[in-house]
């Protein structure tokens, strides 16, 4: 552990961890130090791991929580023989376009459209384009804590509906697989403000896969969501990572959202492997339909007049 170095990379979050051999188990003291650094810096970068086997990637990820076996995902998107690993790639698979070639193209918190959003994820870069293909993370704790006390009070008890159909580029995928994704992931409700189970700090659960806020009209909902999403992804809350082959990036999904940028030559490969850890908090299935429109509210008021 004497070679372990943790170097901050950004103000909002982000640090690089060097001096570890991830092909070997972490001893308890090293694991505790890395885990504490992760809670502090939110996003950790571990360079130089292109040689990791899937089994070693899985073993390393288990240091941060119970692994998800991806029941919410289409089996075709998982690594053969390793359900714990999702393949995020624009390379064809089995002679067909990859179903994850445009994954992550809007701001989102991983698996927020499921009943149990991920605790964390560890994404390994195996191949990358010559330039671009970056990922950006937004610190949703900083975003919440910089809201005015009045706005914090307004959203304190609000809930919102998260919908897999809002995944950008979903309609470009195989229709049968899209139908299966919708079946696996009906709309779900989560609180707009979350309390981190380990740090105790509050954060927004914002992003572009939120369809509406319960109890508000469509116009009210979209206006408030627009403001919160714009605020949450302000540059001062964002860490941008420029990938290198062999990077593993570990992030705390309980207090961040992120976006994978399509800022690269799409004919060049971008091939990543992701392990996700199961989250602690569960939502519930959405019972109500979309938010009421202004016209519907007018009709409702008119009928009572």
Residue 288's pLDDT is what? 60
Task: Give the chain's radius of gyration (CA, Å).
Answer: 20
Low-confidence residues of the chain, pLDDT below 70? 1-2, 288-305
Residue 292's pLDDT is what? 64
Tell me the domains of the chain and their CATH numbers.
5-304 (3.60.130.10)
Residue 173's pLDDT is what? 86
Residue 170's pLDDT is what? 87
Question: Where in the sequence numbering do the catalytic residues fall?
Answer: 108, 110, 258, 274
End-to-end Cα spacing for the chain: 73
Residue 293's pLDDT is what? 66
Residue 133, token pair as written in the block: 């293909």
Integer Cα distance of 53 and 94 in angstroms: 21
Tell me the C-alpha to C-alpha distance, in Å, between residue 105 and each of 101, 208, 244: 10, 10, 19
Query: pTM for this structure?
Result: 0.93
Mind listing the pLDDT tens digit for each residue in 47-77?
999 999 999 999 999 999 999 999 999 999 9
């Amino acid at each position: 552990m004497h070679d372990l170095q943790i170097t901050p990379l950004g103000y909002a979050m982000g640090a690089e961890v060097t001096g570890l051999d991830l092909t070997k188990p972490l001893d308890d003291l090293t694991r505790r130090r890395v885990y504490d650094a992760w809670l502090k810096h939110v996003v950790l970068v571990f360079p130089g791991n292109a040689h990791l086997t899937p089994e070693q990637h899985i073993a390393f990820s288990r240091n941060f929580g119970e692994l998800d076996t991806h029941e919410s995902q289409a089996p075709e998107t998982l690594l053969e023989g390793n359900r714990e690993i999702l393949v995020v790639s624009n390379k064809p698979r089995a002679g067909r376009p990859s179903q994850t070639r445009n994954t992550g193209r809007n701001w989102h918190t991983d698996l927020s459209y499921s009943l149990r959003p991920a605790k964390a994820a560890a994404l390994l870069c195996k191949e990358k384009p010559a330039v671009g293909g970056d990922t950006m993370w937004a610190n949703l704790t900083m975003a919440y804590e910089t809201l005015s006390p009045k706005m914090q009070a307004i959203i304190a008890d609000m809930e919102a509906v998260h919908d897999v159909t809002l995944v950008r580029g979903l309609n470009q995928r195989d229709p049968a697989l899209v139908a299966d994704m919708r079946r696996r992931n009906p709309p779900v409700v989560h609180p707009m403000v979350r309390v981190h189970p380990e740090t105790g700090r509050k954060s927004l659960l914002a992003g572009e896969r939120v369809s509406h806020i319960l109890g508000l009209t469509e116009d009210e909902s979209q206006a408030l969501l627009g403001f919160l999403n714009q605020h949450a992804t302000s540059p001062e809350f964002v860490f941008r990572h420029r990938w290198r082959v062999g990077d593993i990036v570990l992030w705390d999904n309980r207090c961040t959202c992120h976006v994978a940028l399509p800022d690269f030559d799409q004919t060049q490969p971008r091939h990543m492997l992701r392990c996700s850890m199961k989250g602690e908090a569960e939502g519930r299935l959405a019972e109500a339909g979309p938010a009421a429109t202004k016209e519907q509210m007018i009709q409702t008021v008119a009928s009572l007049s």
